[in-house]
Amino acid sequence: MPDIMIKAHSVLQKIFGFKDFVSLQAQIIAHVMAGNNALVIMPTGGGKSLCYQIPALLFDGLTIVVSPLISLMTDQIQQMRENGVAAVMLNSALEPGTYRANMAKVKSGTAKLLYVAPETLLKDSLLELLGSIRVDCLAIDEAHCISEWGHDFRPEYRRLTAVREQLPKAVCMALTATATEQVRRDIKNCLGLGENTEFVSGFDRPNLFLEVAFKDNPYRQVLNMIRRHPDQPGIIYCATRKQVDRLALLLTQDGIPALPYHAGLSDVERKGHQERFSKDDVQVMVATIAFGMGIDKSNIRFVIHYDLPKNMESYYQEIGRAGRDGMKARCLLLYSYGDIHKIKFMIGRMNTSRQRTANLLLTTLLRYVETDVCRRRVMLDYFGERYGQETCGMCDNCLATKSAPEDLSVAAQKLLSCVKRTNESFGVEHIIDVLRGSKAQKVLRRGHHRLSTYAIGLEYSRNQWRHLARQLLHKGFMSQDMEYGGLHLTPKAWALFRDQTSFRGFLPAETSIPEEAKKKTSTEAERIPHDPLLFELLRKKRKRLADEAQIPPFVIFSDRTLTEMAARMPRSKESLLQIHGVGQVKERRYGPVFLDIIRRYCDENSISEDRPPAN
């Protein structure tokens, strides 16, 4: 191993408290330390920050990090400081006194890392200062903002090209979580990164459990998810502000600390809510998709989409906020035919050129929603990545017990003839109402309770009928009106009536809750078997310390770190340093307090010192 990488490794362990580099970190750091530019594409939570933070500590001169969001900057600076790294920031939100003090630290070389907003970096006074000192690295976070082809173009990012020219000796790193081929090319051209500079790591987030469920009783589905994660943070995304407010209120009334977050709130309210979530003061954030860009919280254990996301790319971004600490997190997407129909209706009113794109985006999303193969495979496929395995074991489809398809011709005939009897003008839900003998007004008013197909489908649950309907649509036995949602029979349906063909498919077990969900009763924040009581003690301590220091708890230690402590129960400084996320500075700062809790707990419970570490 070259010297520089031995040093890099030692910084990783001593400062950050991590054992090994993950994904492409080591290659990227070696590449940058050799003076080469780099374009780094890694999914959210993939570990991009270390790719510039470690070089920053190894270079003699300054490393500049351009970041578009002040809240992200603040979080990162706090985390760096907790690790004992001299990092400062400059942006328009700072008090003049702090701003000047930070400028002085940059000038004197006390600061190794400067986080800066793009518009601040463009200021003459700062550029002048930077021209007079040694700058070794310019890292541009969220680099897709530079491209007009990206989903978040920011004009001030484009002007960074000029800054780059003023700092010709600094290596340049551009980092982003999403970039299509076009955006990548744009970033490289704008910043003059040159060839052979791309590092693309896989998009898979193996610790995210992916599941999709029909919106059966959405509020109950939400409660179920929250109850299996007691006291653990989660986000619920809704399509409208009204829905956000309603859901946040309902949850609060049910004793679950939840806050709304959407564009209808004032800046101050939004900031306040975000801070309280960040500090673990409220458990659940109910939000429109506006929420999330600026959060660095690593212990989010679940993300629920109460409504369909906009498209596959935003879905990936939104669930990307879960489980950044590497521990298991659940991502549940709820959908209904009504939702899909609403979107189709809106698409129908667009002009033709936009219609085509919108339809395409919806189709890819529905492919994910309706698939019965591994969801991870479908998702990665969208990003042009081939998933090596047939099954992932971390999605609902992979866990569902797959049996051979059954002959469901009779059930299919019942459903199709009910479509026929109601004149091919109703959607799936109404058809199921009739089949299951519902006394709903909508059924009675139309006299559908007098049809021969009324109440002939009691042997299956609503959910089972829905599955059946979906398969009939997929296999072309019926089609759905794009505009009104009504079902229509196809020639294949007529062939089935005449027994010229059969229909084979799957029916889910009686309940819509996946098998795996029924078995699990305990919380599953983590796969590491640990002592929950000790974890609680440690968590409470962390919360108290965080409140005193006015920083979010995860800045002190991540959940993963506490979980490992509660599993391995280190009694000495040396063994504490072995725990994930415990570096030298944090050990010095917090080690004694946490060791004290662990020691006392072990004494009280007669747990002996040589307890083997759990794996």
Site residues (vs Zn ion, CB under 5 A): 374, 376, 392, 395, 398
Give, as ranges, the residues between 309 and 338 that touch ligand ADP (CB under 6 A).
324-325
Residue with tokens 């690593």: 298
Q: What's the token pair of residue 220?
A: 């109950």
Residue type (1 letter), 547? D
Residue 307 or residue 325: which is nearer to ligand ADP going by CB? Answer: 325
Q: Is 278 in the site for ligand ADP (CB under 6 A)?
A: no
2 three-class SS: coil
- Give the C-alpha separation, 615 to 607, whole Å: 18
Work out whether 204 is an interface residue with ligand ADP (CB under 6 A): no
Site string for ligand ADP, 491-510 (x = CB under 6 A): --------------------
Rounded to whole angstroms, the Cα distance separating 263 from 283 reads 20
Closer by beta carbon to ligand ADP, 462 or else 530: 530
Stretch that binds ligand ADP, among 48-56, 93-101, 158-166, 604-612 (CB under 6 A): 48-56
User: Cβ 469 to Zn ion, closest distance in Å?
Assistant: 24
User: Quick one: tokens of 93?
Assistant: 């939100």
The helix/strand/coil state of 429 is helix
Closest C-alpha to 225, from 322, 297, 140, 128: 322
Indicate the SS3 state at residue 435: helix
Residue 50 binds ligand ADP, judged by CB under 6 A: yes
Cα 587 to Cα 86, 552, 593: the distances in Å are 17, 18, 10
Torsion angle, alpha carbons of 374, 380, 381, 383, to 10: 160
Rule CB under 6 A: say whether 22 interacts with ligand ADP: yes
* C-alpha 239, offset from chain centre: 17
Using the rule CB under 6 A, which residue among 47, 150, 233, 553 binds ligand ADP? 47
Instruction: Provide the mask over 524-563, with x wherever binding to ligand ADP is found by CB under 6 A and - wherever it is not.
Output: ----------------------------------x-----
Number of C-beta neighbours around residue 47 at 10 A: 19
- Give the one entry of ligand ADP, Zn ion, none that residue 392 binds, where binding means its C-beta sits below a cut-off of 5 to 8 angstroms depending on kind: Zn ion
Residues 280-309 that bind ligand ADP (CB under 6 A): 298
What size, in residues, is the chain?
A: 615
214 binds ligand ADP (CB under 6 A): no
**Which member of 44, 102, 178, 417 binds ligand ADP (CB under 6 A)?**
44
376 interface partner picked from Zn ion, ligand ADP, none, CB below 5 to 8 A per type = Zn ion
Stretch that binds ligand ADP, among 41-49, 279-287, 342-350, 361-369 (CB under 6 A): 41-49
Whose tokens are 């040093």? That residue is: 7
Applying CB under 6 A, among 31, 48, 215, 377 the residue interacting with ligand ADP is 48
Binding residues with ligand ADP: total (CB under 6 A):
16
Closest CB to Zn ion among 214 and 368? 368
User: Which among 323, 219, 235 is positioned nearest to 283, based on CA atoms?
Assistant: 235
Three-class secondary structure of residue 285 per DSSP = strand
Q: Could you write out the DSSP letters of every residue in 232-270?
A: --EEEE-SSHHHHHHHHHHHHHTT--EEEE-TTS-HHHH
Among 9, 15, 18, 417, binds ligand ADP (CB under 6 A): 18
> Are 161 and 121 within 8 A, CB to CB?
no
Under rule CB under 6 A, residue 49 binds ligand ADP = yes
CB-facing half-sphere around the CA of 457: CA atoms within 13 A: 32
Cα separations (Å) of 457 from 415, 433, 534?
Answer: 8, 9, 52
In the complex, minimum distance from the CB of residue 54 to ligand ADP, in angstroms, rounded to a whole number: 9
| Min dist. Cβ of residue 40 to ligand ADP (A) | 9
Give least dist CB 192 to ligand ADP, A.
24
Identity of the residue, 428 or 562, whose beta carbon is nearer to ligand ADP in the bound complex = 562
Nearest to 260 by CA among 239, 281, 284: 284
Task: Decide whether 275 or 516 has the Cβ nearer to Zn ion.
Answer: 516
Alpha carbon of 449 to those of 119, 413, 461, 470, 578: distances in Å?
67, 19, 18, 24, 69
The partner in contact with residue 537, picked from Zn ion, ligand ADP, none with C-beta cut-offs of 5 to 8 angstroms by kind, is: none
Segment lying near ligand ADP (by CB under 6 A), choices 20-28, 156-164, 215-223, 446-454: 20-28
3-state secondary structure of 432: helix
**Contacting residues toward ligand ADP, per CB under 6 A:** 18, 21-22, 25, 42, 44-50, 298, 324-325, 558
